[in-house]
Structures are given as C-alpha cells and as structure tokens.
Structure 1
Amino acid sequence: MEQKAKSVSPFSNESRNNYVLEHLTDSLLTLLAQKPIAEISISELCDLAGVGRTSFYRNFETKEDILKAHIRHLFQGWLKEWKSKPDLPMDKLVYQVFSHFEENRAFYSLVNRRGLIYLLKDILLDLCGFDPEQDVVSAYSSAYAAFFLYGWVEVWFRRGMRETAHELAGYLKAGQTV
C-alpha cells in the first residue's frame, strides 16, 4: 500500500482565522466607503475578502458584528491602559476617549457617514463598567457615564469632529456645554 504525504496547511487555525477576520474587516471597510451597509451582500463581502460564506458565518452573525469587533480591537490597547487607572476623573476619561476617536478619525468618520454610530453604545457601556447585575447605584451610575459619553460622541460626530479632545475635556471640567 502506497502512503501519501500529508497535506498540512502552513497556517495554524488561529492564523487562518485571523486572516479571515482581517480580510472581512478590510473588505467591509472598502465596500462601506462606496455604499451603505444595507446594500452590501454577504456574498459580495466574502468575494472581495477572498473567503467563503462559511468563514463569515463561523465568525459573525451580521455585517455590523464585523464593525463591532473592529471597534473593540481599536479600543483594546487604550482599554488596558485605562483599566490600570480605574479612578481616572471624568474629564481625563473624556479626553482619552476623544483622543482615541481623533487617532482613528478616518474609520469613525466612515462609521458616522453610514449611520452606524449606534454600534459604539455597547462598547461604551462595557467601557464604563455597566452590568445589569450590579447593585442599583453602580448600575445606574455606570449607565449614566456611558450614555453621557455616547451623547457627546454622537453630537461631536454630527458636528464634524470640530472640537479637539482637549477642548471637550475642558468643557466638561469647567462645567460648560458645547
């Protein structure tokens, strides 16, 4: 009986999955620059990414899930630093959050232009430590902080991101409104 050499992929499962995630994300951003998310089909997205539909559905349920994952990825480095300073005053938190948005302006401008800013809500809730199982005061306090940030972010995006992170933090610290 003749034995054949095993065919082994040069990529580990993790590497292959990272390849799929990266290509789906890049392809979705390319397509979003051209048209609204509702006009992008899963087949079109997968064709551009060079991956099968099965790869999409193995990782995501919706196209929006790709953007949520990308936003979480963008926030990861910043989040580690922030969690090391849990008692950060709100004006410093606002400065850091808006600095993050400034650093990733092209991506967030695209998200805003396509009406997908609502995808930030859950991430900001997580960022502010919201958990519905918390005690009453903690749950409402963290929700207050998250929705405060979300409101400022949405208004800032709608205004064209004109103010700097430093200016916005200053408005908060001074008790002023924009």
Structure 2
Amino acid sequence: MKRTQRTSDFLKECIADSLLRLLRTKPLEAITIREITELANVSRVTYYRNFTSKEEVIEFKLDKLMTDWIEHEKTIRNTSACELAIRFFQFFYSIRDIVQTLIQAKLSLLLLNALIIRFGDVFTQDCAEYYRQIFISFGLCGVILTWMDTGMNESPEEMGKIVTETFFPQEQP
C-alpha cells in the first residue's frame, strides 16, 4: 500500500517531535534511533525511509515550520517592513520551545542553516546579493538566539520594531 504525502509528512513530524522531546533531556549523540522511533510509535524502517541523520530530522521540522509561515505570509498583502518583522518575531516566539531546545543542545547552527535556505536565494548569480542575504540570515539568527537565550525580555512587537528601526530605517513610515 502506497503512503500518501500527508501520511508521510505526519510520520516525519512524529519523528521530529519525538527527537525534540528527547533532546530536552539528553544530548543528540546519546539519543538512539530506537528511542526516537519508540517514542514516535513508528518503525525503524519508517525512520530510515525518510531520514539519514538526526540532524536531518531537525532540519525537516524547521523547514516545515518556516515554509508554513512563509506560505501564510504570502497571503497577507500591503504590509510594512515593521509589520513583517513583528510577525517574524511572533513566529519565532511561537516556536520558542524548539529554538530553546536547539540552543540548549548546542545545535543553533541548524537554525542558521534553515534561515539561509528559507530566506535566501542560494542560487542567485549576483555575488553581492548572495553575501547580503547571508549577512542578513546570520544577523537575524544571532538576534533570535540572543533574544531567546537572554530570556525574551522584549516582546515580539518590540523586537520587530528594534530590528526594523536599527537595520532598515528607510523602511519606516
């Protein structure tokens, strides 16, 4: 029986959620595939059919979350840079448990990679544009990680305004 894409994505999400749960109590290297699959209630075959590494599981989860957010954002018209920045920080606030788990597990680079892939055009032929996008991705990742690592004292709304006013002042109304 052939699995549908929806079923496959659901099983991959179960695997990812299980790995993230385990990461809250154990380092990545100490987590076994057996532990992940048992917690996810899937077979080892399902794991290996979909993933080649535990890092790939986390990358899948981050990509899925960011893709869903981006698709939702595409439906919103006539938005200012500040409003978009606020929604960006609201999104990261909504997944703070995942990001904080990655910080604790010293896997923040996976978030950086996800930002570069999702918010940059890695296939651009313009060298300057490519480096601009990399610079922005590193900067946003650093701001997100610092904000979360220091207790998120500022609201997502405050963070959106800070980033917009500091880095994109010409975008202000």
Aligned to 1:5: none
Deviation (angstroms), 1:87: 9.2
| TM-score (ref. length: structure 1) | 0.78
Aligned residue runs from structure 1 range 10-21, under 5 A = 12-14=2-4, 16-21=7-12
- 1:26 to 2:17 alignment: yes
Q: Which residue of 1 aligns with 2:154?
A: 163
CA pair 171-23 structure 1, distance change in 2 beyond 3 A:
closer
8 Å Cα contact 1:60/1:66 also seen in 2: yes
Q: How many residues align?
A: 166
Question: Match for residue 6 of structure 1?
Answer: none
Residue pairs, 1:138-153, within 5 angstroms: 138-153=129-144
Residue equivalent to 2:68? 77
Deviations 1:43-101 (A, max 9, x none): 22123223222221111111121111111221223201434679966544432221101
CA contact (8 A) 1:25 1:67 kept: yes
Does structure 2 retain, via aligned residues, the 8 Å contact 1:94–1:149? no
Q: Does 1:174 align with 2:165?
A: yes
Q: Deviations over 1:131-174 (max 9, x none)?
A: 15421232122122212211211211221222212112222333
**Bigger relative contact order, structure 1 or 2 (CA pairs below 8 A, ≥6 apart):** 2
2:93 counterpart letter in structure 1: E
Uncovered stretches (5+) of structure 1, i.e. residues with no partner: 1-8
Distance 1:90 1:120, change over 3 A: farther
52-61 vs 125-134, which deviates more?
125-134
Amino acid at match of 2:149: R
Show the counterpart of 1:64: 55
Larger Rg: 1
Kept after mapping to 2: 8 A contact 1:127/1:146: no
The whole-number CA distance in structure 2 between the counterparts of 1:86 and 1:120 is: 27
Name segments (4+ residues, structure 1) moved above 6 Å.
85-88
For residue 129 of structure 1, what is the aligned residue in structure 2?
120
Identity of aligned residues (%): 27
Q: Equivalent residue for 1:106?
A: 97
2: CA distance between counterparts of 1:81 and 1:18? 18
